[in-house]
Amino acid sequence: MDRALISSIQSGSETAFRQVYDTFHQKLYGYFLQKTRSTDLSGELVQLTFIKLWRFRANLNIELPVSPQLFRIAKTSMIDLLRQKAALRIVSLEVVPQPEEVEEPALLEGDDPLEVIRESISQLPPERRRIVAWRLEGLTNSEIAHQLHISKKTVENQLNRALRDLRKFNAEASLVALVLTLY
pLDDT at 167 over 90: no
Confirm whether pTM is higher than 0.75: no
Which residues, in sequence order, are CB contacts of 10 under 8 Å at separation 6+?
57, 58, 60, 62
Instruction: Note the pLDDT of residue 23.
Output: 94
DSSP state for residue 98 in the 8-state scheme:
P
Helix axes 66-89, 126-136, angle to 10 degrees: 140
Q: Give the residue-averaged pLDDT of 152-172.
A: 79
Instruction: Note the pLDDT of residue 19.
Output: 94
* pLDDT digits 0-9 by tens, 31-41: 999 988 888 88
Alpha helices by DSSP H, 90-138: 113-122, 126-136
* pLDDT digits 0-9 by tens, 59-109: 999 999 999 999 999 999 888 887 777 665 554 444 445 455 444 444 444
Q: Is 136 exposed, middle or buried (0-12, 13-18, 19+ CB in 10 A)?
A: buried
Domains in the chain, ordered, with CATH?
2-89 (1.10.1740.10), 93-102+109-181 (1.10.10.10)
